[in-house]
Chains A and B, each alone.
Chain A
């Protein structure tokens, strides 16, 4: 019964959305009642807890050395003890992520607008944008180091490259999502193309842009870390490589946990922004 509940709650809103029922994938942030949260959060938490217990027990029971697989308790202790180191390095990585993401977002949405508003640009650029996905971004990481150096810039470029695609594709989809009859309504009212863009197309595209952004922001963490692995002097990725080489596997794990938390926090932040910025998506749920 309880498993059915979220569906039942979503149904009336979607039915009433009627012609606009074509919506992008609804994630954490979009129109769900908080009441169902405990029920949905508890099972995965319980699973994680069980996993951690088995891990802890296994490591202790079989006497696995920490430089092979450290126990969760040891990682937890290290997270506390080394928090200032981890925070400093995390701040570096976070800076790269945010800057890279911001650049990709601005350029990506701009390109989406260009693709949307010009057939010629669409025909010329869009296939290339999609084809560019066949190039493994990780493979060009060493090149980025050569071009942009060991500093922050090469990681920013990496983070930007990896999120560019989902942002462009989702924004283009979003700009195309507006109900053509709504556009006609504005045309009949005598609206200018700019008014149609700002009053209809932009708001209609926001749910799509947000769902692209939510995925992109977490992925951009991967980009920055790969960049740091290939060549860096600071950041959580650099810390991992460094610790790994010295068999400080517990520190590697601590860095991994920090990165996961960072990605989750970014995902959540976007969800919260979406929740606040699109109050109409919550209406009727």
Chain B
């Protein structure tokens, strides 16, 4: 069976003043169907650049990206993308924000709303459908953003540090939502984070990236039972292993 996302030999550099800044260096990675794969790396390692390329925002310099066996051309809209910023439109109510993706795909409004309402209830946002985002807390806003992303009905979800801006408790609750969701719907997720524990708790597999230019340093399959807790023996062990791997990279990134 072909993997849902297959990336080989991806390179990307940007103009930086008069020089070139190499951001991604020969990156290979795959994400299988219904697999939860994390990219773990120090900040500035090109994780977000990779996301932007996979979501079709700009092209790579070199490399092949296959989604479902087909090249990711200029046709966008195969990937749902969520960032650290919730990017809720302040002039739309919660439910209208949630249906944004479906609206652009041309899904009939009444059906889209019914689906969104159901999903919002599931995420504990009952009674907030008509609120404007300015009234919601950071965690609630991020949940709305997650609902919007899920409702896009894309095969591949790219989540770029989606909980990075949240406090520790909200973050842990959001991880819980995501785990439950994964159990229920089995979506394919490419998850970007610099939080080792978050990666271990959520992932089926982890790619560790080096500091800039980003390249794959290691691929770590996680064969731990679920549900996982931060204090589980296996989780602690894997965390330690990954931290060791990352230490050298972190040091480089913070020079």
Are the CB atoms of B132 and A280 closer together than 8 Å?
yes
Q: Tell me the nearest residue of chain A to B101, going by C-beta.
A: A189
Determine which of A17, A179, A182, A200 lies in contact with B134 in the assembled complex, contact meaning CB atoms within 8 Å. Answer: A17
Q: How far is the CA of A284 from the CA of B100 in the complex (A)?
A: 22
Q: Tell me the nearest residue of chain B to A184, going by C-beta.
A: B57
- Determine if B85 is an interface residue (Cβ-Cβ < 8 Å): yes
Determine which of A182, A190, A278 lies in contact with B104 in the assembled complex, contact meaning CB atoms within 8 Å. Answer: A190
Are the CB atoms of B77 and A182 closer together than 8 Å?
no
Are the CB atoms of B132 and A185 closer together than 8 Å?
no
Are the CB atoms of A179 and B101 closer together than 8 Å?
no
Q: Tell me the nearest residue of chain B to A283, going by C-beta.
A: B132
- Determine if B118 is an interface residue (Cβ-Cβ < 8 Å): no
- Could you say which residues of chain B place their CB within 8 Å of the CB of A188? 55-57, 76-77, 79-81
Q: How far is the CA of A153 from the CA of B55 in the complex (A)?
A: 54
Are the CB atoms of B81 and A185 closer together than 8 Å?
yes
Residue-wise, chain A 120-140 has the 8 Å CB interface mask toward B (1 for contact) of 000000000000000000000
Nearest chain B CB to A226 CB, angstrom units: 38
Q: How far is the CA of A199 from the CA of B103 in the complex (A)?
A: 10
Are the CB atoms of A203 and B89 closer together than 8 Å?
yes
Q: How far is the CA of A199 from the CA of B81 in the complex (A)?
A: 18
Residue-wise, chain B 28-65 has the 8 Å CB interface mask toward A (1 for contact) of 00000000000000000000000010011100000000
Knowing A17-B134, A284-B132 are in contact, say whether A190-B91 is a contact too (CB < 8 A).
no
- Could you say which residues of chain A place their CB within 8 Å of the CB of B79? 188
Q: Tell me the nearest residue of chain A to B93, going by C-beta.
A: A280
Q: How far is the CA of A195 from the CA of B89 in the complex (A)?
A: 14
Q: How far is the CA of A279 from the CA of B131 in the complex (A)?
A: 10
Are the CB atoms of B87 and A280 closer together than 8 Å?
no
Q: How far is the CA of A184 from the CA of B101 in the complex (A)?
A: 13
Q: Tell me the nearest residue of chain B to A203, going by C-beta.
A: B91
Q: Tell me the nearest residue of chain B to A20, going by C-beta.
A: B90
- Determine if A44 is an interface residue (Cβ-Cβ < 8 Å): no
Q: How far is the CA of A199 from the CA of B100 in the complex (A)?
A: 9
Are the CB atoms of B91 and A280 closer together than 8 Å?
yes
Q: How far is the CA of A187 from the CA of B81 in the complex (A)?
A: 11
Nearest chain A CB to B139 CB, angstrom units: 12
- Determine if B135 is an interface residue (Cβ-Cβ < 8 Å): yes
Within 8 A of B (CB), among A1-42: 13, 16-20
Within 8 A of A (CB), among B61-90: 76-77, 79-81, 83, 85, 87, 89-90
Are the CB atoms of A283 and B135 closer together than 8 Å?
yes
Determine which of B76, B83, B87 lies in contact with A187 in the assembled complex, contact meaning CB atoms within 8 Å. Answer: B76
- Could you say which residues of chain A place their CB within 8 Å of the CB of B91? 203-204, 206, 278, 280
Nearest chain A CB to B37 CB, angstrom units: 19
- Determine if A85 is an interface residue (Cβ-Cβ < 8 Å): no
- Could you say which residues of chain B place their CB within 8 Å of the CB of A206? 91
- Could you say which residues of chain B place their CB within 8 Å of the CB of A204? 91
Nearest chain A CB to B47 CB, angstrom units: 16
- Determine if B8 is an interface residue (Cβ-Cβ < 8 Å): no
- Determine if B105 is an interface residue (Cβ-Cβ < 8 Å): yes
Within 8 A of B (CB), among A188-202: 188-191, 195, 199-200
- Determine if B200 is an interface residue (Cβ-Cβ < 8 Å): no
A-B contact pairs, 25 of them (CB 8 A): A17-B90, A19-B85, A20-B90, A179-B87, A181-B85, A181-B87, A184-B52, A184-B57, A185-B87, A186-B100, A187-B76, A188-B55, A188-B56, A189-B77, A189-B80, A189-B152, A191-B104, A195-B104, A199-B100, A278-B91, A280-B91, A280-B134, A283-B132, A283-B133, A283-B134
Could you list 19 further interchain pairs (A-B, Cβ under 8 angstroms) beyond the known A185-B81, A191-B104, A203-B91? A17-B90, A17-B134, A18-B85, A179-B87, A181-B83, A182-B89, A188-B56, A188-B76, A189-B76, A189-B101, A199-B89, A200-B89, A204-B91, A206-B91, A280-B90, A280-B132, A283-B133, A283-B135, A284-B134
The chain B residues found within 8 Å of chain A, CB to CB, are 52, 55-57, 76-77, 79-81, 83, 85, 87, 89-92, 100-101, 104-105, 131-135, 152
